[in-house]
Each structure stands twice: as structure tokens, then as C-alpha cells.
Amino acid sequence: MHVTHALPLASMTTLGIGGPASVVAELHDPADFPDFAALAATRPGPPVTLGEGSNVLAADAGCTPTVLRMATKGVRVAGPAPDDGLLLEVQAGHPLGDLVALTVAEGLTGMEMLTGIPGTTGATPVQNVGAYGQEVADTLRHVTAWDWQQGRQVTLDAATCRLGHRTSLFKHTRRWTLLTLTFALRRSTLSAPVSYGAVAAELGVPRGTRVPLAEAAGAVLTVRRGKGMVLDPDAPDRRSVGSVFLSPEVTPAQATALRAHGAPVNRFPDGSTRVSAGWLIQHSGFTLGTPLTQGVRVSTLHPTLVADEGATATAFAQAITHVRTHVLHHTGVRLTSEIDYLGDWTE
């Protein structure tokens, strides 16, 4: 475990925003976690757990609680799973992209559509990460976590994790630090049925078609890259958190009206009917590249928010509020931010 003091949060997030963290402990060896727990006990409140910082807005004032950078890595076969599948136990700090690539290479289906999503595997249950028809809830079986309230390690099955649309038991709380995650994947050379039009078009197949795993992952990566949703250190829109807003749930009447205007309205795995947040943003008058606040603008590739030189956490939060207010006024639909606010926020 490596401990640093007064490390800028900006250096630990994909937005490149945030003041100093009082204490940062980087954990590489799971065996060192008891040492981290002892360190955290000397500091106020539960620690803040951080992976690759790809879904957080860090406060300009920094962070007083201890920050744990989870950098543990490793995947092991934990046993058989139904349908001739395998259980894979993954360390929380293992990069999600590396895990997805491993499952594709080993002929295991269930995660191929998650390719290109940044971050660590341990962050995925927090908001039930999903894309292009797959989500973590499809494959997660259980997690081990440290419960800071009880001061002990616990095992929680997927049902207990309460995975919903970009939410879970772990969202908006510092009670638990995820340590390992166990997924059940099926053996197959073919992907799940391709359910999204853009991916099907990239593959040149009808929706519902199953294609070789590597082809599905490659098509998803191409579609994501075209939207600027793949982190590229050389891209002008690189300072991003991906999707800033959830796809909002709409009523049947709203769904009918939105479809009449060409909006992509779809049923989601949780049974809800939701409309694309990006479509709402564009059809509320925000063109690609639109400046919003100092150092914050709409991406040039996709209707999401990105940061430029001079951006602050305060300015980014103001831009979020501005977009939400404008969309509500123009469409009657209320957007909700899906990013996590890290550090010493006053509001």
C-alpha cells in the first residue's frame, strides 16, 4: 500500500478536475487491506473508494476523508456455472476493459457489449453499468465487500445488491468498499443477440442476430468511438465522464408524444420506458460543441458534457443544472445526473 498526502484529485479523474485529497492510499495487494482499514480508522468518516475516476466530479475544495485508490488486479476461475459456464472471481481494481477482452478471448458471453467502458470492475455494480443491451445485473452473482458500519468483510449476493437502472445498494453511500466480484458467464462463440440499431448497422446484420464475440465487441467499440465515448488521451473531447445523465423514465403519454417527434424511446430491463438523454439535449437547442460555462461545453461528437482548460467542479455542476433546466423547460422531461460527487461539497 502506497500512501500520499495532498494529491490533486484532478490527477485521479478523467475530467481532470478537483482539489487536493488529504490522504490517498493506493492498494495493489489485497492482503494489505487490513493496513488500509487501520489507516482509515484514524481519519474522519468512512473512506472514499476510487477506481479510475471515470464517473466522478471531484470538488474544487478537495477531499478530507481518506481516498482509497483500488488498484488490485486479478481474475480466477471460481467454479462452474449453469449452462456449461464459468464463475469468474475478479479483483475490484481490475480494469473492466481487460476483463471484457478476456471473456471475449476465452469464448465466454455476457460482457461483450460492455467493451470500451472505462473504469474498474469494482465500480460496475455501483450504478449497474450497462450498454447496448447488456448490464452487470445480467452476470453478477455476488460480491465481497468491507462494511465500514459493521467493521467486517461481508458477502452480498446479486439480489441483495439491489441492482436497478444505473443504481444499486452502493450508490450514494460510503458504507461499503467492494473487494471482489464474481460473475457467471456462458461458454459460447457467439454474442448475445444484437439489440441496438447502431451496432446492428455497423455489423450489417438485422437486430436480434448473434455474431462472433470478437465481431460484436469490435462493432460496439467502433460505435462508441464515433460518439467520443472511448477515452483517448489525444482526443479534444477526452476530459469526459461519458454519459452525464441517465436516460429518463417517461410516462406512456410522454412516450407517445416523444416517439411522434422521432425520439428513441425504449423499454429497459427494469421494466421502465425511457428516452435518450442525448436526444433530449440536442432537441432542446444544444448543438454539438455548445459552450455552457467557463471551460465546460457540449462534446463535438455526442450530446454529453466535457471539460476544457479552465474548467472547475463548480462550473461543471452549473453546466449540469443549466442543461437540466433547459431540457425540462423545452420537453417537460426531467434529467437526472448519474455521476458521483466526490469530496468536500458544500451543497
Instruction: Tell me the three cell numbers of residue 163.
Output: 441492482
Given a cut of 90, is residue 99 above it in pLDDT?
Answer: yes
Task: Given the residues 69, 166, 239, 297, select the one marked as catalytic.
Answer: 166
pLDDT tens per residue across span 18-60 = 999 999 999 999 999 999 999 999 988 899 999 999 999 999 9
Close Cβ partners of 108 (under 8 Å, ≥ 6 residues apart): 85, 86, 88, 185, 186, 187, 188
pLDDT band at 102; cut points 50, 70, 90: very high
CA atoms within 13 A on the CB side of 247: 21
| pLDDT the model gives residue 347 | 67
Write the burial class of residue 209 (CB in 10 Å: 0-12 exposed, 13-18 middle, 19+ buried). middle
Task: Given the residues 26, 52, 135, 338, select the one marked as catalytic.
Answer: 338
pLDDT tens per residue across span 141-185 = 999 999 999 999 999 999 999 999 999 999 999 999 999 999 999
Does the annotation count 238 as an active-site position? Answer: no
Task: Given the residues 54, 168, 243, 337, select the one marked as catalytic.
Answer: 243
Alpha carbons 272 and 138: distance in angstroms, whole number: 17
pLDDT band at 139; cut points 50, 70, 90: very high
Integer angstrom CA distances of residue 126 from 74, 140, 224: 20, 12, 22
Does the annotation count 249 as an active-site position? Answer: no
Residue the block writes with cell 460543441? 289
Integer angstrom CA distances of residue 223 from 22, 99, 102, 165, 246: 39, 20, 21, 22, 19
Cβ(248)–Cβ(275) below 8 Å: yes
Give the mean pLDDT of 330-346: 94
Integer angstrom CA distances of residue 76 from 70, 80, 87: 18, 12, 9
Instruction: Tell me the three cell numbers of residue 28.
Output: 495493489
pLDDT band at 233; cut points 50, 70, 90: confident
Given a cut of 80, is residue 248 above it in pLDDT?
Answer: yes
Does the annotation count 243 as an active-site position? Answer: yes
Instruction: Tell me the three cell numbers of residue 255.
Output: 412516450
**Residue 42 phi/psi, 5° resolution?**
-90, -5
pLDDT band at 270; cut points 50, 70, 90: confident
